Structure 1
Amino acid sequence: MPTPHFLWYNGTFIRNDKPIVSANNRSFRYGDGCFETMKIIRGQLVNEALHMQRLFESLASLSFSLPSFFTPTYVAQQIKQLAQKNYHTTLARVRLNVFRGNGGLYDPENHFPNMVIQTWELNPANQLLNENGLVIDIYRKAQKTTDTFANIKSNNYLGYAMAALWAKEQHLNDAIILNHKNTVADTTIANLWCVTDGIVITPPLSDGGVNGVMRKHLLQSIPAAGLTCLEKSITDAMLAKAEAVFLSNSIYGIRWVQSVGDYKYNWGITPVIHESCIMPVWQ
């Protein structure tokens, strides 16, 4: 008989097939909350400090009232305990979701950070740079805002969810989300980068993309590898002229893109970035 798979909910381990929220849940009703997606390698959270920094900044922005025990150390400990219970310590994906709980739009019961943690085992191939480039395109039915909450991994994920459905219907690997200026914000599950004249470029956070942890890591590690890296708005014209395009997130590091619509690319310097900036984190 297979070992039961558990999730963690407010201090308790629960079988992952058991319901844990009511129809009055504010995250279910309004998308009130945020989440983190993290990676475990050999029992340790990759870029743990950066993930905890982003999580607690998001909780402050969303006006949660944190009890004294609710610290970065506490959260990280619960993640690792769940991974151990699920035998997911070698290589695993973690999703942590925080939400406000029950209540109407104007009358939440409280501002306590209810938390759910889940883990899943990852295939070792996840550690490798993709051999076949991703095929992606621009989703034009949604535009990302550039307001105070745009950079948070919010539970309000409608635009991304619709873009992901569209990408699947179109047999694409991902979809680009634009902002109201028609420049790139990000994609459904990643931050986007392009390489032009040897310069690595990613949109600034003011263009509405999620404040990715791997994005932050790359902004520090790419210059350390001797490459020029800029935060600059990415337009359709820039995608047309780019030498290479790649995506980044905390689970797969980076993946190179073969095409954006009719625009075609090759590996470019993506293998160099993977070897010098991603592999040291994985090891």
Structure 2
Amino acid sequence: MTNFNATILEDTTKLSIKNRGYSYGDALFETIKVLSGKVLFWEDHYFRLMASMRIMRMEIPMHYTMEYLEEQIQNTLTANTLQNASARVKLTVYRNEGGLYLPENNDVSFIISVQKTEEDLYQLNESFYEVDLFKDYYMSPSLLSTLKTNNKALNVIGSIYAKENNLNNCLVLNTNKHVIEALNGNVFLVKDNQIKTPPVTDGCLKGVMRKQLMDILKLLPDYELVEASISPFELQKADELFISNVIIGIQPITKYRKKAFNTTVAKMLLQKLNVKLRLG
């Protein structure tokens, strides 16, 4: 069951071929983790969505409050008998039909879909996980590159490239040849007691889990958190690399080219993240 503008519909319901999210990628989405019925990091998701809608010059309806949209998420979970379960939620907001590249208006609609997940708290996956650079196309850093829009051609092609080369993931470069993120999340590099992640100005996604981990790291006196550009040459000198997103939490990278990495910091951070969720 899918929530279409506050109406619960069968998943077989079809969208118009004139839908602007389909026709022009004129849409934004949030991928949200629900833990035993609780929407995680909802405030961060909500404010990122609102900020993204403003950047996209979408008209934000007055009733799109944090409480209203969370209620719609809960209604969708209940309609799918997942109100007390753990789930993956996708909230998509798109500009309404009309116009070509130039829309006839800036009004919006939303769709919420849900999918049950097996894990409750975040689990550390320490199995073999190999990445390499994706160099066929580069991300041009701008405000638009930090948004979760339906324009994800680079991520799609990069994922196909990874599969064709027996890789678990790829790292994305910007036009300045800096490492900015993975295909499905933000990236962190550990060297000695310094933990580095690319700044949003380099073009990486303004990730919700990225923010959670940075908040935790700022409270740890034994580590120095640095937002700075990452050169591909730094990767093989690192002690540890890991990817973050709200669904997996933290995914350690175990191999990049000839370099193998440990998972010490990733394991520590995931434990602290789960403690934060329990206390929250």
Q: Same fold (TM over 0.5)?
A: yes
Residue identity opposite 1:27 in structure 2: G
2: distance between equivalents of 1:273 and 1:39? 18
SS of the equivalent of 2:236 reads helix
Q: For 1:255, which of 246, 251, 256 is the aligned residue?
A: 251
- The question of 1:167 aligning with 2:162 is answered yes
- The question of 1:73 aligning with 2:71 is answered no
Runs of 4+ in 1 over 3 A off after TM superposition: none
Residue identity opposite 1:151 in structure 2: T
2: distance between equivalents of 1:203 and 1:125? 29
Distance 1:172 1:282, change over 3 A: farther
1:262 CA drift (Å): 2.8
Aligned to 2:6: 11
| Gap runs ≥5 in structure 1 | 1-5
Residue identity opposite 2:250 in structure 1: I
- Structure 2 matches for 1:103-252, cutoff 5 A? 103-124=98-119, 127-226=122-221, 227-252=223-248
Say whether the 8 Å CA contact 2:121–2:274 is kept in structure 1.
no
1:106 CA drift (Å): 4.2
TM-score, L = length of structure 2: 0.94
User: Structure 1, residues 218-265: CA drift from partner, whole Å, max 9, x if none?
Assistant: 111112133321111111111010000000001111111101233321
1:279 CA drift (Å): 4.1
TM-score, L = length of structure 1: 0.93
Say whether the 8 Å CA contact 1:222–1:277 is kept in structure 2.
no
1:192 CA drift (Å): 0.4
SS of the equivalent of 1:77 reads helix
1:176 CA drift (Å): 1.1
| Gap runs ≥5 in structure 2 | none
Distance 1:278 1:139, change over 3 A: farther
User: Structure 1, residues 142-173: CA drift from partner, whole Å, max 9, x if none?
Assistant: 11111121110111111111111111222222
1:274 CA drift (Å): 1.1
- The question of 1:54 aligning with 2:25 is answered no
Say whether the 8 Å CA contact 2:24–2:101 is kept in structure 1.
no
Determine what percentage of the aligned residue pairs are the same residue. 29
Number of residue equivalences:
277
1:17 CA drift (Å): 2.1
